[in-house]
Structure 1
Amino acid sequence: MMRKLLLMALFLTSATIFAQGTITGTVIDSEMNAPLPGATVVVVGTTNGTTTDFEGKFSLNVATATGRIEISFIGFERRSANFNVASGQTQDLGRIVLTTDADALSEIIVIGRGVMDLEEDRRTPIAVSTITKSEIQQKAVGNVEFPELMKNVPSVYVSNQTGFGDSQMFLRGFDQTNTAFLLNGQPINGMEDGKMYWSNWAGMADIANAVQVQRGLGSSKLAISSVGGTVNIVSKATERNEGGFARTMVGNDSFLKGTVSYDSGLNDNGWGFSLMLDHWQAHRKYRQGTQGSGQNYFLSIGKLLGDHNFNFLVFGAPQQHMQAWSQPEETAREFRKYNQHWGVDQGEIISERTNFYHKPVMNFNWDWDISDDSSLSTVAYASFGRGGGTGPRGRGRIREPDYNIAGGISGQIDFDAIREANAQIGLGEPRNDGYIRRASMNNHQWFGVVSNYSHDFNENWSMNAGADIRFYSGDHFRQVIDFFGLTGWANDRPDGRVVTESFSINPWKTFFTSADENERINYDYSEDINYQGAFSQIEYGTDAFSAFFQGAISNQSYQREDRFARDANGNQTTKESEKTNKTGYNLKTGAAYNFNDSHSIFANAGFYSRQPFLDNIFAATAELATPAVENEEITGIEAGYKLTEGNFKLNVNLYRTEWANRFVANGNVIASYEGQDEENNPILGQEIDISREQTDVTQIHQGIEIDGQYRMSNKLRLGAYVSIGDWKYADATPYRTRDFRDNTFFTNADINDYRTREGETLSPNFFNGEVNLDGVEISNAPQTSFGINGMYNVTNGFKIGLDYNYFTRLYDFIDVADVVAQGSSYETTELDGYGVVDFTTAYDFNFGGNKFVLAANIYNLLNSAYISQTDAFGVFYGLGRTWNASLKYNF
């Protein structure tokens, strides 16, 4: 009997061994069509399992010929797949796509993938980091600026200034005017000056499914402003499954936020919609006088029709927030929360400096799968911006008694006292002691289309070609917000007309109502920009080698119309500038070699001839600059090494970017010379804004970036990075000085008519000359930074995370006048390095059969004090400890 049992055991053992096989596959994130590392793969009914590596791949030995595996990952729906593997053989299950869980933002149906230029769509690598939806919704929410979620990316620096939406982001030392930002393939940098106003995108974190930061040359085919890099923001679109959530959030300084979202799901006819509404408010962000409020709304309607996918979406974030500007360093150091721009008016807190804006964005995506080898993707878009920023006008500002604050700063603005003084004046004007709050308005409309055709000739060769067309028109003027008891405002128009109408700063009202031409003051002009671009790329790739060549060409026209111009007799008239055209182009090429599945190298090179921004084209409102401002020239080279070994991933990138023939403008203030009389110089004693402009500036940015990730288990993920840059100016450059009163340029003969704010005589070459910046360090972004971060899943529903970032070799603002005065002895001032710790946690739980998520974030946990940025007028201190907490109900 024992012998029979032994024989049976040997038979079963041999049968089991004989039946063993191997199954493999690749797990894909549906949102980004990218590999999903760290996903769990388990044979159903057993404890036999594994996890995917950083390429999303897995390999699992199985003990039976047939069965089923289950794939899971936090934030995604579970997916099962059957296997049937022959004994001793390997079965490849191919791509297994995981979609997002119903309690997260929805899966994208149509997002215009063909026009997004994501890194995964090209075989030849670039320096890139991708932030997933789960991290966005965990960290970049509420009273936290959207750029903050990118601060763990190598060579990214975020200066978290102290107004809602006023943060600045730098990439490889270049500010955000020279980094291209795209929303679903749509360029969203300002057409006039390349600026990004994050307050216009306050709800971005609630609709973003992914953010991909491409450093340097990137994979974008458009002829866009990507000197530092390209940031692709992929938004939510219409979801397949029905569901939604409601969330409430609180934070420091009375921050409140409420959000509701609903997705209908896709019906049998291929239709679906998604909707999100949100309101937020706070009595300040961190510093005094920075209260804000706003709403966010999002609507997406999708339709699947055979080989065609259509999606229309509209997104807007109307808001208003008070602002805090830089301070003298001694003031900021002692009074970290001080802000000189606000006061109390008839029991209500108001600020001289308030930003208010409403910029709804609409886009229509059409994806057409023409065949297995060809596709066409198009996004048509429109946006309508309405709003501006307030400021003082007139000489009648009154402050409360001196607070005895270091740096000579007085008390808050006494608006009630201003009303009393204005009542005695009656009719105010810029040259007397009257005081108003005005708004500098920027109303614009922007239409465009980006279309891309892709074709695979065979498994090795592919190409795409497309067009980028944009039409932009902007109106700029000033209007009165509050007269503070004056009967009107006079002598602030070429026709001398008295203005008596004031307007609201409510962003909803502003969208429909602003001053007509008879009620505008100080300036009134419009500008038109038309842009036409074409691009193409061809790529060759095998399993081991890939190479590409890419080119783009564009034409951009500029024109201005000044409605406050004067004719030969000094009467008001309308003057239109000549239309000028600038042609730009870019050329990029690169190659990569994969030694095996773990090791690969790549190198890319490119040249950009970039048209200047509109603001640099004109010397005065409707007069072209002489000599003309020419195209900037950007030359970039980069090389990288990628290592992927199991759950460990390492990237090493080297780069060098030369930015030549650059135009630079820096604001400053001087004071009128006291020796002139009122009749000849009616602005006697007033501060005058100037802009010192440099042409033919050359910057060289080079450095090394290293980042790595290690998933120790399903519970613990670790990451780290280090960035070391060497960013300096090269050679000498001429400079000139613009007078903002009439947009004309000073001559050196004007020097004797002016003095500095401190009453000092100006140097002979204050207005015009040449400055030698060779070897001077680039300011306002740290040239060395490093960070470590980790996320630990304590249980399936509870996780905690810590981030630590350290920044050093951050240099002070460079004033050209100081460089000229000090000559070869000039040295930039290095600011103190600093480190910041952030904490995050979330807990998913069920209560009464309902799903809830409780989350919290603490930023600058240790309340570190540090200077984050400087300008011509002072310093910005970074935010102290701030926090938010939220409760979310999923249905």
Structure 2
Amino acid sequence: MKTIKNWVLSGLLFMVVSTVFSQGKITGTITDGQSSLPGTNVAVKGSKIGASTDFDGKFMINTTANSGELVISFIGYDAKTVKFTVANGGTTNLGTIVLTATSNELSEVVVRSGVVDLAKDRKTPVAVSTIKASEIQEKLGTQEFPEILANTPSVYVTKAGGGFGDSRINIRGFDQRNVAVMINGVPVNDMENGAVYWSNWAGLSDVTSAMQVQRGLGSSKLAISSVGGTINVITRTSDMKEGGAVSTGFGNANYLKVQGSYNTGIMKNGFSASVLLSSTTGNGYADGTQFQGKNYFIAFGYKPNDKHDIQFTFTGAPQWHNQRSFANTISDYLKYGSNGEPNIKYSSDWGYKNGEQYAWTRNFYHKPVMSFNWDYKISEKSKLSSVAYASWGRGGGTGNIGKSPFSYKTADGLVPFDDFVAFNTGTYTFAKGESLTNLGTPLKPSTIAGHEGEYITNRSTGFTRRASINSHDWYGAVIDFNTKLSEKLILDLGIDARTYTGYHFRNINDRLGADVYYDNVNVNNKPAGRYLYETYSASPSFNPWTDVKNQEKIEYNNNGYVRWYGAFTQLEYSTEKLSAFFQGSVSQQGFKREDTFIYLTTDPLYVTDYENILGGNVKGGINYNINEQQNVFINSGYYSKQPNFQAVYPNNKSIVGENLTNEKILGLEAGYGFRSRMFNAKLNLYYTSWKDRYQRATDAAADNVGGYYDYTGITEIHSGIELEMNAKPLPKLNINAMISVGDWTYNGNSISNRYDANNEPVGGAAKTLYLDNLKVGDAAQTTASLGASYEVVTRVFLDANYRVAQKLYASIDPSKFTSEVNDGTLELPSYGLMDAGFSYKMLVGKNKSDSVNFRLNVNNVLDEVYISESRTNNFTTPTSKNYNGVNVTNQVYFGFGRTWNFSLRYNF
């Protein structure tokens, strides 16, 4: 018995010793090509042995296997399998292993230019979310470009009227005039009013490599309108890897898109080129909103050595689309609906002319942008980055002029354009007309000398479609000098210069059968006036330098000139644990106005001098990495924002306004981040104070015709909390979630200043606006979403997302709150939307290096009927008719019902 025990003990000892001596070590470092990836999961395939990388991205695994495979995974990156061999008792160092971001396109992005301000995870102390190109390509489908951000905290996006490119975005309660949009470091907000017209950028989704949203004042070095946040869009570059793609997509409402692209990659001589072309057409979800858009992108690059990198890009997206620009009352949607349900597609802006769809409101525009980037590596410590850019916008939007057409509708609620043509040509009779109301006595042939027998319309008689033209020429440059003062300190110094000329006038687009249009508004042509025979197309010109100066103009003709000179500096401090930045910028905006219609050419006000206004910002922040999983940050900033062009020259006159006060924005923010191999989370708290917000209202008093009120001291307080999470509990399952709760209110009341039609102060009782504690409208203050993606089998994915919008308030006009007794801001019904998708990627080609990608999207799967926004603030009363608790007199837009699209893409 003792002998047996000895044999057993000896055998066990031998096994232990053998195990110890056969155990080896595997080490390595995991990065994304630029920085380490702490918390990456590294596991031996087919076993339970694994480890996570430390703060520096390093890992070590003990294994008894002499060979095998490591499976490496990290949220947001493609899993990677690496083979290993290890000798008994030895150590194998696999070196640096680079993970590729889930988006192949994102892996191509190397931001070399110092003019592009992108936040870095666990380093830049701002609240930030990044959208990858693959997600945009897959999930955008027939949606508008800003809608890809709908599941981002504190972001509210609507389609507005639903026309192609007419969507709008709101961040932390601030509309897009106060959200800075940057493309490759170049600001694109309109220099006169800060607006962003997404229809001008309809092709941007095709050429985007990555998009980053920085909420709050952000990390941009420029003095830009980043009150609510900054949207940074990084486009394709000429030196993407060699290859190309062709794709097609189709969907509901006859949506059809075709696209092709090709990249040469960097050739032996250092040159590279990239080109993309696409075309998109459709009928639009809302009735009468047909559209057609083209897109082109051309890029050339030259990299002769490691010191110089030159990039030239030229891109544009000429488009036209019929609009639903008038928000109808709920009662109208119900009237043209059925079974007590509203017709959410109804539009009152269109009808038929000669059997074809025709709309009063049609937008047409072509805004190409050309940029030249040069990055010069002066030394190992210093770099000069610069971009020179130009943009030429040509186009506008149509509408009606003359006899008011809005009370005339067919039995289906459409515009009777054929009746209008008959009216303008003297052939209309009520008995034969389509209109529900008699148009009255039609036009008669003219007896005016020289115009005998002609049918003449003007600004009050007949029906005419005119176009309001808003064209511009825009030139600018940003230059940034970056130098390393030490291993921990980096200094940036730079300048930002821009010049802008806006051309604003109206012309005749369609006389609707009449022979001539008579204009007598231009004071330089009175009293005789002018008889105008020219009509101008409402389709975009592919020539971006189309002459606008010699067109026949009606109603108004003025040019706005804006000059912008800015300087900025930024100091960054960085260690493994701590990073901080301090930034300051100053800008001078100059505004000049030229008016050839309301002033005689001999009048000094015909052309003004520049009115120069100084502004700027200061901001700073600190990020501290507690360990490889946790970090915290704080930031703060102050922005003195100049008034816009309309504030400088109010009332469409060339007299500088009295109340030129800079808006003052104070921002405070704190955040916490957690990152591990299975779960990531970001928590942010923010507070933004917006003082001296610009507000103007028409004075309706009979003793001040053409006058207005300017309001001073309007203050908004925007505060809230944001939580963004993603998890990978299983290798094939990704879960994303977010919730944001905001409290956006007015703080205090406001006193008015009264002015006459010539911008001169006038007497009279001052009005008080009772705004204190009033909710800021036009966006949902609470939003949440939950989504998941699952790889059913290899390269076959199913995904779904559900998002909720609550505390959604109507858009309000603060100037209407002149009584201390009021109902406040109208809260609209909450709603929830589900989106779902299916993807399959099939590898093809000799080495399986090419792929065919299939994608199906279904948006609003449950076909939810919901109000996305209200233009009015009418509360229910004991006698009012209501829909879903909302007074039916409110003018609203309903969101889209269920939509779908399918795309097929071949990458080679």
For 1:455 and 1:36, locate their aligned partners in 2 and report how far apart those are by CA, in whole Å: 26
SS of residue matched to 2:780: coil
Alignment of 1:419-430 (within 5 A): 419-424=421-426, 425=443, 426-430=454-458
Sequence identity of aligned pairs in percent? 36
Compute the displacement of 1:591 (Å): 1.9
1:738–1:440 distance in 2 versus 1, CA, 3 Å:
farther
Aligned partner of 2:782 in structure 1 is: 784
| Partners of 1:505 and 1:475 in 2: CA distance | 16
AA aligned opposite 2:360: E
Describe the shift of the 1:482–1:434 C-alpha distance in structure 2 as closer, same or farther (beyond 3 A): same
Structural mapping, 1:416-815, within 5 Å: 416-424=418-426, 425=443, 426-494=454-522, 495=525, 496-508=529-541, 511=544, 513=546, 516-517=549-550, 519-567=552-600, 575-665=606-696, 694-735=711-752, 769-815=767-813
Instruction: Classify the secondary structure of the residue corresponding to 1:442.
Output: strand
The aligned residue for residue 415 of structure 2 is 413
Q: Is the 8 A contact 1:130 1:211 kept in 2?
A: yes
1:559 touches 1:580 (CA, 8 Å); kept in 2? Answer: yes
| Corresponding residue of 1:93 | 95
- Post-superposition Cα deviations, 1:627-652, rounded to whole Å, max 9, x if no partner, equal 13211100111111112233211211
Give yes or no for contact 2:678–2:727 (8 Å, CA) kept in 1.
yes
Mapping for residues 267-282 of structure 1, pairs under 5 Å:
267-282=267-282
- Residue equivalent to 2:838: 841
Query: Deviation at 1:732?
Result: 1.7
C-alpha distance in 2 between matches for 1:617 and 1:276: 41
- The separation in 2 between residues aligned to 1:358 and 1:717, in whole angstroms, is 40
Which 10-residue stretch deviates more, 171-180 or 832-841? 832-841
For each residue in 1:470-494, what CA deviation from the matched residue of structure 2 results, as whole angstroms up to 9, or x when unmatched? 1111111111111111111113432
Letter in 2 for 1:446: W
Residues 48-67 of structure 1: pairs in structure 2 closer than 5 A: 57=57, 59-61=59-61, 63=63
- What is the DSSP-based 3-state SS (H/G/I as helix, E as strand, rest coil) of the residue aligned with 2:147? helix
Amino acid at match of 2:140: A
Letter in 1 for 2:864: S
Aligned counterpart in structure 1 of residue 372 of structure 2, from 351, 364, 367: 364
TM-score normalised by L of structure 2? 0.85
One-letter amino acid of the counterpart of residue 258, structure 1 = V
**Aligned residue for 1:863?**
863
- Aligned mate of 1:342, from 350, 356, 363: 350
8 Å Cα contact 1:112/1:184 also seen in 2:
no
C-alpha deviation, 1:695, in angstroms: 3.6
Which residue does the alignment assign to 1:14? 20
Q: What is the CA-CA distance between 1:364 and the residue it aligns to? A: 1.5
Q: 1:802 is paired with a residue of what secondary structure?
A: strand
Q: CA deviation at 1:79?
A: 9.0
For 1:327 and 1:54, how far apart are their aligned partners in 2?
59
Superposed, 1:52-451 pairs within 5 Å as 57=57, 59-61=59-61, 63=63, 93-94=95-96, 96=98, 98=100, 107-108=108-109, 112-120=112-120, 123-141=123-141, 143-161=142-160, 162-284=162-284, 286-306=285-305, 307-324=307-324, 325-332=326-333, 334-395=342-403, 397=405, 402-403=410-411, 411-424=413-426, 425=443, 426-451=454-479
**Segment drifting more, 506-515 vs 477-486:** 506-515
Structure 1: give runs of 5+ residues left out of the alignment: 405-410, 677-687, 750-764
**Equivalent residue letter for 1:540:** Y
| CA displacement at 1:66 relative to structure 2 | 9.7
Kindly state the Cα deviation for residue 235 of structure 1 after the two structures are TM-superposed: 0.8
| Alignment-mate amino acid for residue 460 of structure 1 | K
Secondary structure in structure 2 of the residue aligned to 1:330: helix
Q: Show the counterpart of 1:684.
A: none
Secondary structure of the 1:790 match is strand
Task: Tell me, in whole angstroms, the C-alpha distance in 1 between the residues paired with 2:287 and 2:269.
Answer: 54
Q: Which amino acid in 2 is paired with 1:608?
A: Y
Task: Determine if contact 1:180/1:226 at 8 Å carries over to the other structure.
Answer: yes
Instruction: Describe the shift of the 1:298–1:565 C-alpha distance in structure 2 as closer, same or farther (beyond 3 A).
Output: same
Q: 1:691 to 1:705 in 2, by over 3 A?
A: farther
Check whether the contact 2:40–2:676 (CA below 8 A) recurs between aligned residues. no
> What is the total number of aligned residue pairs between the two structures?
838
Q: How does 1:850-889 map to 2 (within 5 A)?
A: 851-872=851-872, 874-889=891-906
Look up the equivalent residue of 2:506 and give its one-letter code: R
**1:318/1:49 Cα in 2 relative to 1: closer, same or farther (>3 Å)?**
farther
1:441 offset after TM fit, Å?
A: 0.6
Deviation at 1:96, TM superposition (A): 2.5
Given that residues 607 and 633 in structure 1 are in contact (C-alpha distance below 8 angstroms), is that contact kept between their aligned partners in structure 2?
A: yes
Report the CA distance shift for 1:6/1:870 in structure 2 as closer, same or farther (over 3 A).
closer
- In 1, distance between residues paired with 2:11 and 2:281? 76
Please report how far the alpha carbon of residue 463 of structure 1 lies from its aligned counterpart in structure 2 after TM superposition. 1.7
Indicate if the aligned counterparts of 1:38 and 1:56 stay in contact, CA closer than 8 A.
Answer: no
Q: TM-score scaled to structure 1, two decimals?
A: 0.86
Segments of 5+ residues of structure 2 without an aligned counterpart are: 1-6, 335-341, 427-442, 444-453, 873-889
Check whether the contact 2:39–2:676 (CA below 8 A) recurs between aligned residues: no
1:795 and 1:53 map into 2 onto residues whose CA distance is 28
* Whole-Å separation in 1 of the counterparts to 2:827 and 2:83: 58
3-state DSSP of counterpart to 2:303: strand
